Structure 1
């Protein structure tokens, strides 16, 4: 809640006018009251961010007004003014909730310094409230990847894009680590000493999201008992993460576009235009191109957000990261709990690598966490995943599987026989009970697979003439 609307209460017309004019010159909205009762009447009707109260006034003094205001609006900043200052009255005023106590006469410079301190204090209070509400957040703030990972391309660009104020649009499936990329951009930016504020656009209705982003005035809607700063104000000077930007309504999209273009907005129920300096990072798990074609997303907003595009690949496209992630999460989750689990078997790693991970990094993280709690074994085996994931144990090389074609079985038998004979096709043909020419014709058909076995298929065959192909099941 920034300081915007101020009430000056003083029975001295000259002093009241002097202070009011100084405040108005500094851009504040100012109301005036000539005594305590008039002040109470005004505060009952509307909300003030700050009050300057004269100590001695007819009908009701400043101390009484202070008590009344603090009962109805604890967040209002109150400064007591008096020409009859004493240590005792200053202590009493502070005990009853006054922020400061100033002695008349005072200069405009003194008032401006006081207002600066009040604004800085209020900003710290607002930021503290926000971060305290986020203490239960469980966001990983670092990447765990293999040295050959495709993610290196993304991370190598983070430092470069972090130095700009340009908007960033991070696209990727759910659970791939889009928020970690966003936080990494913030960490490496020159704004890392300023707030990093996040809002989940998919979690709130249109009206609640509008209030969360832009704030609201007191009485703007039912339940708006106090003026509230939005996320844009909290993030002023820093970075705002708009998570799942594709889920916002056309109305909110229009307001976001205005902030991106003009860096200004109004609170819900307010008329004053507020200016902000905020870097926007947006994330989405949808194809915004398709959403634009469906008229679900504004193309002009997309262009404003997509100044720097970032694509986060799914885990199935960077399987080299799966073993590293599994080991990392095992070490992380077994720490501090009484679990016998110590390591992951090679077969279990193979099973994890074969799985496609529709939930990406989040899914493997949750799986390993579940295993540290539920598995009563020192070694994590592939069998342990059977009831947790649609993961099958790796098939032994000499096993047949329902669903294989005869040609698949024949192909596998040929290559295994060649492997056993060291690539000698004449010897392999004898074992398979076919002619060398038949074997050569079949290998020509499987040519695209030869590189995976590293065999010299020309060795051991000295007759290149064509013959009628024989079947293995003659």
Structure 2
């Protein structure tokens, strides 16, 4: 999906024609005939671009424009050929462009793409606001000597803001948090920080996202698009799961690291980049290098400074307590209510748990769920009963007290353990559980299992 567009016009033919052109290109198109419905749709879905008829419903266009601008919308006006003065007024009110009816497909696609790019940059800048920064800063990492050493290394890497960093940790460890802390400790702190996943997308898609593309570079490239290496300016890019970077993109990334220049997909002109690059991986890249799947020179460039992040189960009890408190505080800030601490028994169960599945991602989900249940039940502190079934089931050494659990909870626990032991493979997990793969999939949906 290229983006989402809201069309506002009283002319059904215009909505059909313009919407059809945009949908063929891959946009999600929303159409509204009334001001009330248009505002409700914008508030609910926040589309990337709004195309608004300046003469909408008589004289309501300018008023609707004001209401949408106040909501932060990116607006392109559609006007009649003889309404130049009104269009200028609309641009003064906050619209970013104008299309003259009848609108041609090339002009529609070009201006819409530029407006969507503008929205992308603006939202990126908003994502870098202080409210999005990690709670607790470096202190959130922990107080043990190992975590203090990690905090010190983060500070050092922050000061040396041209050094490339390779973060190494199991799936679910806080590589994004550490990368953000490095960024926030650097002179680049006022510039954007962006995390981009390398897996789960085609080489062309990732190429366009990172480096941009020129018009016509591929079937959906209807206009020039700037990639993150241009948009973040002097900021920081975190490439998550660097082991999945397509071989065709590895020389391009190497060139950025070596020369600070790149070319957009389909382009012939060099573009300069002043970006700090951080990469993360949960794999040992050595075998991939030996097998020729990952370039040796790129690996050496990325691993100028390797920073290992220990899994939760290998951290000290004090560090884990710090982590539980951090994610409970983060959840409470998100919901603006609920307990600020957990009971001693709940903390003991959290400490005993192995945390082999999702590491800090799993901790965050556990604390989020526990807080929601505590709020619903009116608890002043997070209690054992607010924890997920698998944590409640793990009684401490010598603890023979009964922990009430339903058969559904026991079934969910067993399925989660089996899926985890088979790295999420559903066919092998179903075979071990003695059920069909279809039944397993249905139960995964029923119990909302995420492995």
TM-score (norm 1): 0.54
Separation in structure 2 between the aligned mates of residue 247 and residue 360 of structure 1, nearest angstrom: 21
1-structure distance, mates of 2:278, 2:388: 39
Question: C-alpha deviations, 1:375-412, integer Å up to 9, x for none?
Answer: 5345544465462448511132799xxxxxxxxxxxxx
User: For residues 382 and 214 of structure 1, do their structure 2 counterparts lie closer, same or farther at Cα, with a shift above 3 Å needed?
Assistant: same
Q: 1:347 is matched with which residue?
A: 345
Aligned to 1:140: 134
- Of 379-388 and 347-356, more deviation after overlay is shown by 379-388
Higher helix share: 2
Question: Partners of 2:128 and 2:158 in 1: how far apart?
Answer: 24
CA distance in 1, matches of 2:373, 2:191: 42
The alignment yields a C-alpha RMSD, in angstroms, of 3.6
Gaps of 5+ in 1: 1-73, 76-89, 99-121, 400-474
- How many residue pairs get aligned? The number is 291
8 A Cα contact 1:151 1:312, kept in partner:
no
Q: Distance in 2 between matches of 1:333 and 1:368?
A: 7
2:397 corresponds to which of 378, 395, 398:
395
Distance in 1 of aligned mates of 2:163 and 2:340:
46
Partner of 2:54 in structure 1? none
| One of 186, 196, 199 as aligned partner of 2:196 | 199
- 2:369–2:387: 8 Å Cα contact kept in structure 1? no
Q: Is the 8 A contact 1:344 1:381 kept in 2?
A: yes
| CA distance 1:224–1:373, change in 2 (3 Å) | same
1:208 corresponds to: 205
1:217 corresponds in structure 2 to: 214
Q: Where in structure 2 are there 5+ consecutive unaligned residues?
A: 1-74, 77-83, 93-115, 402-451
Q: Deviations over 1:429-472 (max 9, x none)?
A: xxxxxxxxxxxxxxxxxxxxxxxxxxxxxxxxxxxxxxxxxxxx
| Paired residue secondary structure (1:344) | coil
Checking the alignment, whether the CA contact within 8 Å between 1:236 and 1:276 is kept in structure 2 is: yes
Are 1:248 and 2:245 an aligned pair?
Answer: yes
Residue in structure 2 matching 1:301, options 291, 294, 298: 298
User: Could you say which residue in structure 2 is the equivalent of 1:292?
Assistant: 289
Q: 1:131 to 1:176 in 2, by over 3 A?
A: same
The verdict on how the C-alpha distance between 1:201 and 1:318 changes in structure 2, with shifts beyond 3 A counting, is: same
In the other structure, the counterpart of 1:312 is 309
**1:162 paired to 2:161:** no
1:178 pairs with one of 175, 180, 184: 175
Mapped partners of 1:170, 1:373: distance in 2: 32
Q: Distance in 2 between matches of 1:185 and 1:386?
A: 33
Runs of 4+ with deviation above 6 angstroms: 90-93, 122-126
Partner of 2:331: 333
1:128 is matched with: 122
Do the aligned partners of residues 191 and 123 (structure 1) sit closer, same or farther apart at CA in structure 2, a change above 3 Å counting? farther
